[in-house]
Structure 1
């Protein structure tokens, strides 16, 4: 949810706000967004997905990072500052790492929905990730035990690649051979 709609917040002010806050704050072109504290189920799903991605990528050139870890989206074609904290990021281009964040565009991002921030992940971040060229975007909904996978097409638009609810397996298009079992991911 956006903290302020009425005025522009400079990048410097954003960093000051973060220093004084325990909240997870994101910054998209002058608007500060606050992420809610994750639920127990959210954390279980995140932990299981992290294990799945991490084990799959053990001998791969890509790495998996989980929140809280800043991703500063950067593209030569796009102006503005976007600092997001995805639940999971799979990063294959190692050139963007700094001591405190990654600057660039991850290959794959996973967001796990919470009741209070669904529109942020389903609309704002979906459009943002598509615009920046994140090749694959997973939206995980622990409230209805579903996973939707979007893949960037040749026109630079997201197409729904897979959607599953309750049980079955969801696969990645860009991580050839990677899949997750929904019953394992959403088990209580």
Structure 2
């Protein structure tokens, strides 16, 4: 959902908005997007995934982070500033950390859909993450108890690696050996 601000604002104006609000706001090509407050089910799913990723990554090079963490996506071939706040990010290249945010491209990003932000996560962010080279993008739909996993192929395009609804184990191509049971993930 867009905040009621003028489109095509500068990144400096965005940071002023960011500092003056408690809302989670993202910035893509001059447009400010506001994220809805997460539901209890959203928070349960996020927490279970965070713990599962943390346990799996313990002692490994990569690390998982949960929202809110500002991520400024960078690319040598894409212009403009994009600052997103994914629900979960797996970051392997630690060089991009600053005092306030991560500047770079996570290896894996998870977004948990809310009824009001589905188009933003399913279209805008899918294309954004693909174009910036996020190796794997998980889209979790708590309304349908489903998980879709998209992985970059050799042509740097997303292809669906895994899709499950309600039962079964969802797997990661990026994190070899990682899987999570959907009954656990969506259960109370």
Identify the TM-score tier after normalising by the shorter chain: over 0.9
Q: Secondary structure of the residue that 1:119 maps to in structure 2? A: helix
2:63 equivalent in structure 1: 63
1:26 aligns with 2:26: yes
Which residues of 2 match residues 32-71 of structure 1 at below 5 A? 32-71=32-71
Deviations for 1:10-64, whole angstroms, at most 9, x for unmatched residues? 1111111111111000000100000000000000000000000000000110000
1:123 aligns with 2:123: yes
Deviations for 1:146-184, whole angstroms, at most 9, x for unmatched residues? 000000011111000100000100000010100010000
Provide structure 2 residue ranges, at least 5 long, that are not aligned to the other structure.
Answer: none
CA distance in 1, matches of 2:122, 2:20: 28
Offset at residue 93 of structure 1 (A): 0.7
CA distance in 2, matches of 1:5, 1:110: 27
Aligned length: 188
Does the CA-based 8 Å contact 2:7-2:32 persist in structure 1? no
TM normalised by structure 2 equals 0.98
Moved over 6 A (4+): none
Provide structure 1 residue ranges, at least 5 long, that are not aligned to the other structure.
Answer: none
Which residues of 2 match residues 63-82 of structure 1 at below 5 A? 63-82=63-82
The 10-residue stretch of structure 1 (4-13 or 120-129) with the greater mean CA deviation from structure 2: 4-13
More strand by share: 1
CA distance in 2, matches of 1:164, 1:78: 33
1:168 equivalent in structure 2: 168
Does the CA-based 8 Å contact 2:170-2:182 persist in structure 1? yes
Offset at residue 131 of structure 1 (A): 0.3
1:139 equivalent in structure 2: 139
1:96 aligns with 2:105: no
Offset at residue 5 of structure 1 (A): 7.5
TM normalised by structure 1 equals 0.98
Q: Secondary structure of the residue that 2:129 maps to in structure 1? A: helix
CA RMSD of aligned residues (A): 0.9
Offset at residue 2 of structure 1 (A): 1.7
2:10 equivalent in structure 1: 10
CA distance in 1, matches of 2:59, 2:141: 29
Does the CA-based 8 Å contact 1:42-1:142 persist in structure 2? yes
